[in-house]
Amino acid sequence: MIIEKSEYLPLSFSSLKAFSVSPLAFIHYKLHRSPPTESMKFGTRLHQAILEPDKFADEVVVYEGRRDKRSKEYQQFLTDNPRRGRHTPAEMRRIKLAFGRLQYHAAACELLEKCTHFERMLEFTRNGVPHRGIVDAHGDTFALDVKTAQQWDPDGSSEPRISQNILCKRRCTSTH
């Protein structure tokens, strides 16, 4: 079986992370994209709340009732909101909590205030190898990649500096 190199290019952070596990993990990653996990969906919505707040406001809706596809009320809700991100009140509280914690992170707020572009595709070739990825935000002299984490310890000390969802956001103001 001959495998075309073009099937594995361009490289991205995620594909290189898979390769760090094993060459087979890299091949599986490139050929068999997995559906997004609940954590990935949460991260996507949180990115949107932080970096694209207007889009978040337009695309997200909360359903207060029970999610029973047999109920007429829920069927009507699905019909009325076919392409919007549908969340429970608990999911929305989690997003707002994570979003709110950023207000206490002065350095992140300062960087985000200096950002000039958000959610921008970046493509380049280095040493003949094409690379591609999306930069969450960047300014004239820096780029940001927004991540969430349960605990984060940047210098390896025993106590986490910040815990429960490390974030950056575009404007340090509250969301809806």
List, run by run, the mean pLDDT of 10-residue segments along the chain (176 residues): 60 82 89 80 84 87 87 90 84 86 81 87 83 82 74 46 35 37
Tokens 């707002």, residue located: 96
Q: Give the pLDDT of residue 22.
A: 94
157-164: long-range pairs with CB below 8 Å, 24+: 162/101, 162/105, 164/98, 164/101
Q: Give the pLDDT of residue 9.
A: 66
| List of residues 6+ apart from 125 with CB closer than 8 A | 131
Q: How far apart are CA 33 and CA 69, in angstroms?
A: 28
3-class state of residue 54 by DSSP: helix
HEC string of 130-153 equals EEEEEEEEECCCCEECCCCCCEEC
Neighbours of 174 (CB within 10 A): 9
Neighbours of 75 (CB within 10 A): 12
Half-sphere exposure of 48 (CA within 13 A, CB side): 18
Q: Give the pLDDT of residue 3.
A: 54
Q: Give the pLDDT of residue 102.
A: 78
